[in-house]
Amino acid sequence: MVPGAAVIQQATVANADVFRALWRAHLARGQAEQDVRIIATAASLLEALDRLGPSQIVAARISLAGQEWGAWIDLERSLLLGAAQPAEVYLAGTL
């Protein structure tokens, strides 16, 4: 789903309420810090959660170009919803 990436660990989102609360907090921080990458990822994930439900979103720790990332995939469309670093921060509560 991410060309050239190796999946280290993955799981579907188990708890929609926790996932939503975490990503609302990441969105608020991204807005305060004007971090467009986190704003875009958070907005995409929150929209996908409302549209798909948690069982259709996979959270994954991936390795790409020697770096680890948190990545989220829409299973319905096989589409990358977003990616963020550091993986351990953004995958907290998911993996």
Three-state SS for 7-30 is: EEEEEECCCHHHHHHHHHHHHHHH
pLDDT the model gives residue 63:
97
pLDDT the model gives residue 94:
86
Question: Residue 3 pLDDT more than 90?
Answer: no
Q: Which residue has the tokens 């948690």?
A: 54
pLDDT the model gives residue 2:
79
What percent of the chain stands above pLDDT 90?
Answer: 92
Q: Are 38 and 84 in contact (CB under 8 A)?
A: yes
Question: Residue 35 pLDDT more than 80?
Answer: yes
Neighbours of 74 (CB within 10 A): 18
Q: Are 40 and 10 in contact (CB under 8 A)?
A: no
